[in-house]
Amino acid sequence: MIEKHIKFRDTNESINESIEHAKRSKQPVLLKPQTYQDDRGWSFMNMLQGLKNFGQANFSHIHPGTIKAWHKHEKQTDLWVVIQGDLKVGIVHESKSTSQLDHRAWATVIGEHNPSILIIPPELWHGCTVTSSSPAGLLYITDKAYNVSRPDERRYPYDHFGSFFKWEIEHR
């Protein structure tokens, strides 16, 4: 079961303050980028102005029907912006208390219809699926560069959290 939808955070904070909040709270943070739209199209503006600890920028083209999940990083923070299409993003915090695993889960849809900057701090399992009929384009910025010889990544299969997280669209 999804515990919460991710709520937008006050955009008066800097990107660095929002990243620190996400790390301290061990929760994802969602920010609204400044957008500009006119008869020529639209733009996201000044999204990561002042960003410290830049590692690398990556772009992923994801086909409809694809589920890319689950993985987490021990040290790396991800910043996700969907440039084209829409993604349902799932995030799970898994922690041990006494003799059992406790889970908190979040879900949100980000993309063309909900422009957002999603901050995913270390230790949170995350993944996504395309909800639009066309491919989605995901730009993701990390605070640490990928190290091929020592990847900061652990993986579970896409259905690992199937007892309480469903990738399918929930008809309401």
**pLDDT confidence band for 28 (50 / 70 / 90):** very high
**pLDDT confidence band for 69 (50 / 70 / 90):** very high
Q: Please list, in sequence order, all residues whose beta carbon lies within 8 angstroms of the beta carbon of residue 115, skipping any fewer than 6 positions away.
A: 32, 33, 35, 44, 81, 82
User: Within 10 A of 19 (CB to CB), how many other CB atoms are there?
Assistant: 20
Domains (ranges, CATH) in the chain?
4-45+52-144 (2.60.120.10)
pLDDT of residue 90: 95
**pLDDT confidence band for 170 (50 / 70 / 90):** confident
Greater pLDDT, 38 or 13:
38
pLDDT of residue 86: 96
Q: What is the pTM of this model?
A: 0.91
Sequence-distant contacts of 157-162: CB under 8 A, at least 24 apart: 157/70, 158/67, 158/68, 158/69, 158/70, 158/127, 160/70, 161/70, 161/90, 161/92, 161/103, 161/105, 161/125
Q: pLDDT tens digits for 43-55? A: 888 888 899 999 9
**pLDDT confidence band for 34 (50 / 70 / 90):** confident
* Structure-token pair, residue 45: 């503006």
Q: pLDDT tens digits for 105-130? A: 999 999 998 999 999 999 999 999 99
pLDDT of residue 97: 67
**pLDDT confidence band for 2 (50 / 70 / 90):** low
